[in-house]
Structure 1
Amino acid sequence: MNAPYPAAGEAARPAHAPDDHPRLPPARTGVLLANLGTPDATNYWSMRRYLNEFLSDRRVIDYPAWKWQPILQGIILTKRPFTSGANYRKIWDTERNESPLLTITRAQTEGLRERLVARFGDRVRVEFCMRYGNPATADVLRRMLAEGCRRVLFFPLYPQYAGATTATACDQLFRALMREPWQPPVRVVEAYGDDPAFIAALAASVRRGWAEAAEAFGAEPERLVVSYHGMPERYLTQGGDPYHCQCRKTSRLLREALGWPEGRMVTTFQSRFGREEWLKPYTAEEVARLAREEGVRRIAVVAPAFAADCVETLEEIRGEVAESFEEAGGHGFHYIPCLNDDPAHLDALEGIILRNLGGWL
């Protein structure tokens, strides 16, 4: 159940309005969190709908439609829903009948709502949406406007900016706004992968995970692998997408916060799709190289590009990446969870929100 709002003020006619003017809800400020998305279920047709929406996004796959859509509709969406559905079933919450990403994003929203309502009462609305799947951006925005939100702070939950994440979430919001007769002023929270409170929360989680791994292994890990979601290399070299640079900066700030030497951490990129070159080194290949060429036997892995654990962390890292390391000779693999709804993470997100609400509340 969502954290409750205080008793709402009654709808009323604006001051000086004629008696026949419609009653309006009290003016409020909305905070709309956005994450990537999730299928509604793991069956073939649910996965196909989700993957079709995701892989048809030109921000994600930028090939011309005449070239890409026949491949997508005729080949990929015939087979991939089966394999993706199998991966989701490994992590699916069968009691709630939803993915961990949805569960965690809802918990983050409720935690932030409780904090902001404690500060501002009924003057604020805090909700979340998904770029792909449900709850859809347009549906949530429409509900917020109906509840009186006359200003909206849009917060894409991506610590590092990328066209395929932050930009497409904004695209969807702006498309939804195009259909609204009354458009509120909108602010968008910029990437926050260098925010001091975020880095502090990330460093604290690594220290905890490092200690847990040391206890489980009987010795400290030899490397921390900092794995980010990948993207085609040409998005950086030809398009100037800042994602790669921002990932590297997050890694550097994390290492400095931990007080570690450079050799203890390695930055990698995961989730490659297709045949072209993506940002390197690839996570699965790099952990195998560490074991095979450098004799590393114990590693910990953290994924700072994800605000919430999802199929890319819970299945890909704990499955494919772990297997790659172990098959190459490693025997100690420890995954450090995303920050999720950890209080320190919510503290950082709340601070970012409050700064961006400056002058509004």
Structure 2
Amino acid sequence: MTASQVELDQPGQGRLAHSPADHPPIPRAKVGVVLANLGTPDATDYWSMRRYLGEFLSDKRVVDYPSWKWQPLLQLIILSRRPFSSGAAYRGIWNTEKNESPLLTITREQTRKVAEGLEALYGDRVMVDFCMRYGNPSTDSVLRRMQAAGCEKILFFPLYPQYASPTTATANDQAFRTLMKLKWQPAIRTVPAYFEHPRYIDALANSVEETYASAEGRPEVLVASYHGVPKRFLMEGDPYHCQCQKTTRLLRERLRWEPEAIETAFQSQFGPEEWVGPQTVDHVAELAKRGKKHIAVISPAFSADCVETLEEINEEIKESFLEAGGERFTYVPCLNDRDDHVQALLAVIRNELAGWC
């Protein structure tokens, strides 16, 4: 049913045109916008971490080994040990005031600001919410809530600037799994990668310039550290590695820097197979051995600070650089809920809503 088929009865509700007078009110048709991020454990204790890691590491988009080979290893060994170390990492960055992970706090604030921006443009015709691929709020619960609220069209926005199978694709997969279970499916659009969007590049450049302006001395090299993927994914057609390289190049051009002032690396490798490189943790140590005393690291693939940035970069990778002879390490925060980042997201959303609003 379309909005033209509904006569307004009271704010946000109406009745079908030509329907009997006693027909129950129905929600007025709306467009939904869902911001989707990776996910978060509900708490840092062993069982909360095990549930979260079990869901994450059982995803075939993340680890695509045959189940008969991978699941015994995962269930009997990895999930017996890793919740302890991962829980400790999360405890080091946990938002104790709200009792939640920073990723959840930041994504909620991004959603609030995006909702305000869209309300200014479209009034109450657009409903905005967020979901997580792993953990809560789940993709299924959010999409069902939107449908119940009258969203007949939904724009699903994975918050990953660069497309990758283990991030963008699995987020979309989860949305489609919900649609497969619904009797009445809303129309749905998925947002493509925005790794080269001018406003996204501008926001990255602004964050670098602001961080450099407040740093104690100017860093000699900026390392753009992206989350890693197996090299096999690149060979099988995943465009992620190429899109990361282009983001780095566009950022350098926007900053008007020489090529040697910014380098690309990849973090978070696990497992025995070869991954795209160089690995950030090793690369920063090599920079120190080459005589670089002050470096900065930025994470263009992450839309919000999380355990991979606040703990891995600002602790493990920083430690690698300092132990190899480096002296000063500057972290450039993720774009988070910066106003220029929100404006970039709004520009992407407005383009994708064309014809719907």
TM-score between both structures, scaled by the size of structure 2: 0.96
Q: Distance in 2 between matches of 1:23 and 1:150?
A: 16
SS of residue matched to 2:13: coil
Q: CA deviation at 1:84?
A: 0.2
Separation in 2, partners of 1:180, 1:22: 22
Of 216, 220, 223, 1:222 maps to 220
AA aligned to 1:154 is F
The answer for the alignment partner of 1:329 in structure 2 is 325
Separation in 2, partners of 1:142, 1:341: 26
| Cα deviation digits, residues 278-314 of structure 1 (max 9, x gap) | 110000100000111x100000100000000000000
| Equivalences for residues 74-223 of structure 1 within 5 A | 74-213=76-215, 216=216, 219-223=217-221
Query: Unpaired runs of 5+ in structure 1?
Result: 1-7
**Deviation by residue 1:180-199 (Cα, 9 ceiling, x = unmatched):** 11111111110001000000
**Counterpart AA for 1:212:** S
State the aligned residue count: 348
Distance 2:105 2:197 in 1: 25
**1:284 and 2:294 correspond:** no
Distance in structure 2 (CA, Å) of the matches to 1:166 and 1:133: 16
Instruction: Output one character per residue of 1:141-161: Cα deviation in whole Å (capped at 9) or x when no partner.
Output: 111111110100010000000
Q: TM-score, normalised by structure 1?
A: 0.95
| Between 201-210 and 167-176, the greater mean CA deviation after superposition | 201-210
Letter paired with 2:255: L
Worse overlay, 110-119 or 69-78: 110-119
How big is the shift at 1:19?
4.2
Q: Which residue of 2 aligns with 1:343?
A: 339
| Deviation of 1:273 (Å) | 1.0
Distance in 2 (alpha carbons) for counterparts of 1:311 and 1:360: 36
In structure 2, give the amino acid aligned to 1:334. Answer: T
Opposite residue 278 of structure 1, the aligned amino acid is W
* Aligned-pair Cα RMSD in Å: 1.0
In structure 2, stretches of 5+ residues that fail to align are 1-9
Residues 9 and 25 in structure 1, CA contact (< 8 A), matched pair in contact too: no
- How far the C-alpha of 1:24 sits from its partner, in A, is 1.1
The share of aligned pairs that are identical, in percent, is 62
- CA deviations 1:40-92 (Å, max 9, x no partner) are 00000000000000000000000000000000000000000000000000000
In the aligned structure 1, how far is the partner of 2:232 from the partner of 2:93?
Answer: 32
Cα distance in 2 for residues equivalent to 1:9 and 1:77: 50
* 2:253 paired residue among 242, 249, 256: 256
Q: Hey, what does 2:316 align to over in structure 1?
A: 320
| Superposition deviation, residue 20 in structure 1 | 5.3
Shift of 1:21: 4.0
CA distance in 2 between partners of 1:144 and 1:228 (Å) = 32
